[in-house]
Structure 1
């Protein structure tokens, strides 16, 4: 049997194992695949019914910090109708070994099929005995070589210490410091270096951002944004990073948006990847839609996508689909 029979294809939080010849075995275990901090296995076991198991590879990490997993698992027919059997959503299940998650299929499965696992969250126990912590809650906030200096910068912003410019958002205003803005953005630097109205009036109008998003933007520039704020405002921050030429913020948004692609956001992210020239995000979205067959799950939204998306992007999607069909 070829090695491909045991290989699991993965993207950031999605794993798929194609079972090509289920009649030929009573037990099969996949090769290890990595999601989060752990290497995982899928296994199928046929007795009177078909059992599907998901579990982490035995290691020191698994023993000391076993995953607490939330996920959706499906068995999808590889036939053209792609009928699926879906297990109820698993929430915060501690999984240490191959007996901690076992799914007996009530309905007989025949022919080729795909085991599709979408990880919603992975947590580990808190070292101080508190609530379990999500391993994906750590966002790409800026790192500091001097935490005290960053804390002081943040205090300058939040307490309005010696601010010398006002930023007007769509629904409010906030004070800031020219020197910080100029150091972080060549666009702001240019504004304050020439006799533009922003320099003369000591104001900047950013009417395409709410005050909450604007505060998150400034907190990033000052080095004290919180993960929750970053994740909430990622798309607006991406727009601001592109508009004001802040490459590190753009890259932070890019990397973050790749990490949690799902059926609810994949089409929007694909359009943003094209708009802001984010190759990794575009590739990940196309792979999710085409290679992992999620176009079937978003077909209603895809009709709206076809009406408003860039023509070149639509052409690229169809090229991916055609290439996938040729290789099937």
Structure 2
């Protein structure tokens, strides 16, 4: 490994990995800066009688004024040992990190040779201006990114109060028929698919009814809330996949982009395969790339072998080929 690579930390949206070829006794090494969330970070390792691992943010005005309050998992992986022997630290929850002594992990281990420090941030928070509460920097960061230009705040009341609605959207949810009043002009402005419905002699134009059978009522309500600017980050996070499907179906590009960015932002071992298939189905290159990097480059496929086996039996053949190509490329690069 070259000197330049020896200190480099590879990152994706919430994951960081530092690969270390070897560490001699009684030595110290600090990584290059890497960015996760709002902050630049360092990882540091020290070997004496124990192996010490440290994580801390760069000393800056941002850190002093808004120190990160972090929740994360961290582990040390020895990839060349049988079954990739892994040492796992108990999960850290809501720990404020200001300096290089706030998180120190002392490890008793006799293992030597190449190892990987694997760091996965679960959440990053800051104190609110009042100082009595915390707020996540990721809760609605992506969801609010584009909505200002796409909608007007006054539309919110038109939807919630049913002001002069001229079309009904029917949704069947758990065998229960429900409907929401909406406005042709708003829907047509936001979606070329809706505009086409209302411009031709289709049943939607004639009967003033749109039947949506592939969304739950709650997801449909969230979809309309986005269109009308009555956006709520909590419902967005719950219904992201359904909103993505609707954005694709009704050709609402800004919503599709927001959903893709948000889904790529919190990939983990529990959702990565589902999101990989969603990315393949809806032609989302950024999300697909993030999933493949997470699985292959960061070695997470070794942690979900049973899920991978099921995935290989049921996924689209073209997608399976892509995964195999990524794995082969990673092996060739070792």
TM-score normalized by the length of structure 1 = 0.96
Structure 2 residue 289 is matched with structure 1 residue 287: no
Q: Considering only aligned residues, what root-mean-square deviation do their CA atoms show, in Å?
A: 1.4
Instruction: Specify the alignment match of 2:207 in structure 1.
Output: 201
CA distance in 2, matches of 1:32, 1:23: 22
Query: In structure 1, what is the Cα distance between the partners aligned to 2:302 and 2:80?
Result: 12
Give the corresponding residue for 1:31: 32
Deviates more, 1:97-106 or 1:164-173: 164-173
Cα distance, 1:144 vs. partner? 2.7
Displacement of 1:167: 0.6
Distance 1:216 1:236 in 2: 9
Aligned to 2:45: 44
Among 84, 87, 103, which residue is 2:86 paired with? 84
Is 1:264 the counterpart of 2:270? The answer is yes
- Does the 8 Å contact 2:71/2:92 carry over to 1? yes
* TM-score normalized with structure 2 length: 0.95
1:108-156, Cα deviation, whole Å (9 max, x unpaired): 331111000000000011112231111101232344369xx83321011
SS in 2 for 1:245: coil
What's the secondary structure of 1:287's corresponding residue? Answer: helix
For 1:220 and 1:25, how far apart are their aligned partners in 2? 57
Aligned to 1:214: 220
Q: What is the aligned residue count?
A: 326
- Aligned equivalent of 1:238, options 214, 234, 244: 244
CA contact (8 A) 1:150 1:223 kept: yes
User: By how many angstroms is 1:292 displaced?
Assistant: 0.3
Native 8 Å contact 1:150 1:224 kept in 2? no
In structure 2, distance between residues paired with 1:82 and 1:297: 10
Q: What stretches of structure 1 of length at least 5 have no aligned partner?
A: none
Alignment partner of 1:140 is 2:146: no
Instruction: Give me the whole-angstrom Cα distance separating, in 2, the residues matched to 1:97 and 1:64.
Output: 13
Structure 2: runs of 5+ lacking an equivalent: none
- Give the 3-state SS of the residue equivalent to 2:17 in structure 1: strand
1:73 match: secondary structure: strand
